């Protein structure tokens, strides 16, 4: 049986660790050419080297989702290297800040709120904008955004994280509906955390 993602190019953000790292290896083992994108350059390079050493294909591209220019540069690099983008699997989170500094809003410093919302929600907007435009040009692509059940049921002491992830869940629905309009034969999957165009 041929690999299910042969010929596909998959960008995995936050791929230097955790779920993104596991996803990058899985996409590669299914035949995709994987773009390991992360702010942590040493760990990201190790992930792409390990994938290549296992006989699959990956490149590392630095990414800081705070910065629109960094996101756009990642997309330019991938387009130059691979010529297309079939998948975005978006996993970036500033986990240490969330775990150590998020609070209920009555005790939450504004700078912590702004930083968590910027990485989790604004970063999702920046990546979906730049990559979504390429997918519209191609008339194909799949976007998978990692959210959390905490955004749906609430989690005491995590007001910034749950609010930002709630925004990601809501954006997933409107993004799926909005991008589907650009397909000649739209096939829309209304999964809670998955926007599919093809
Ligand atoms: N681990 C869990 O239990 C869990 C549960 C529910 C949802 N999630 C979600 O799944 C996703 C992955 O979680 P994880 O536990 O694997 O996280 P992780 O901390 O292991 O990985 C996050 C990655 O994001 C990168 N990153 C941080 N800031 C960045 C930035 N500005 N630009 C680019 N990259 C940046 C980090 O370097 C890291 O490699 C997150 O969106 C998280 O909210 C995780």
What element of type H or E holds 88?
A: strand 87-90
Does any domain span residue 198?
Answer: no
Query: With 70 as the cut, is the pLDDT of residue 198 above it?
Result: no
Does any domain span residue 37?
Answer: yes
**Mean pLDDT, the chain, as a whole number?**
93
Does any domain span residue 89?
Answer: yes
As a whole number, mean pLDDT of residues 66-80 equals 98
Six-digit token string for 64: 């800081």
Domain that holds residue 103: 9-192
pLDDT category at 146 given cuts 50, 70, 90 is very high
Percent of the chain with pLDDT over 70: 91
- Ligand 1 centroid distance, CA of 18 (Å): 7
Does any domain span residue 102?
Answer: yes
Instruction: Please name the residue whose Cα sits nearest to atom 27 of ligand 1.
Output: 94
Q: List ligand 1's pocket residues with C-beta within 6 A.
A: 14, 16-20, 38-40, 63-66, 91-95, 119, 146, 148
For the entire predicted model, the pTM comes to 0.93
Confidence at residue 180, expressed as pLDDT on a 0 to 100 scale? 84
- CATH number for 124: 3.40.50.720
Query: With 80 as the cut, is the pLDDT of residue 25 above it?
Result: yes
Does any domain span residue 2?
Answer: no
What would the pLDDT profile of 12-24 be if each residue is shown by its tens digit? 999 999 999 999 9
Does any domain span residue 1?
Answer: no
- Ligand 1 centroid distance, CA of 21 (Å): 10
Query: With 50 as the cut, is the pLDDT of residue 9 above it?
Result: yes
Give CA torsion, residues 105, 170, 38, 130, to 10 deg: -130
Query: With 80 as the cut, is the pLDDT of residue 38 above it?
Result: yes
Number of domains in the chain: 1
As a whole number, mean pLDDT of residues 58-65 equals 98
Query: With 70 as the cut, is the pLDDT of residue 82 above it?
Result: yes
Enumerate the active-site residues: 161
As a whole number, mean pLDDT of residues 81-98 equals 98
- Ligand 1 centroid distance, CA of 13 (Å): 9
Does any domain span residue 61?
Answer: yes
Six-digit token string for 194: 């998955």
Query: With 50 as the cut, is the pLDDT of residue 188 above it?
Result: no
- Count of CB atoms within 10 A of residue 58's CB? 26
Q: Which residue in the block uniquely carries the two structure tokens 């991938």?
A: 78
Does any domain span residue 123?
Answer: yes
């Amino acid at each position: 049986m041929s690999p299910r993602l042969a010929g596909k190019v998959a960008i995995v953000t936050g791929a230097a660790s955790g779920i993104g790292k596991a996803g990058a290896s899985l996409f590669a083992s299914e035949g995709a050419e994987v773009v390991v994108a992360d702010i942590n350059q040493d760990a990201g390079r190790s992930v792409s080297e390990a994938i290549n050493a296992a006989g699959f294909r990956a490149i590392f591209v630095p990414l800081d989702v705070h910065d629109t220019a960094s996101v756009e540069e990642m997309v330019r690099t991938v387009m130059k290297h691979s010529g297309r983008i079939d998948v975005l699997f978006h996993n970036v989170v500033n986990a240490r800040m969330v775990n150590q500094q998020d609070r209920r809003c009555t005790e939450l410093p504004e700078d912590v709120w702004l930083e968590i919302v910027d990485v989790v929600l604004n970063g999702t907007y920046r990546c979906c904008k730049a990559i979504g435009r390429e997918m519209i040009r191609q008339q194909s692509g799949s976007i998978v955004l990692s959210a959390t059940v905490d955004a749906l049921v609430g989690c005491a002491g995590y007001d910034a994280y749950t609010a930002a992830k709630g925004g990601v869940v809501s954006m997933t629905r409107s993004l799926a509906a909005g991008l589907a309009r650009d397909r000649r034969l739209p096939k829309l999957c209304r999964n809670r955390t998955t926007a599919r165009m093809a």
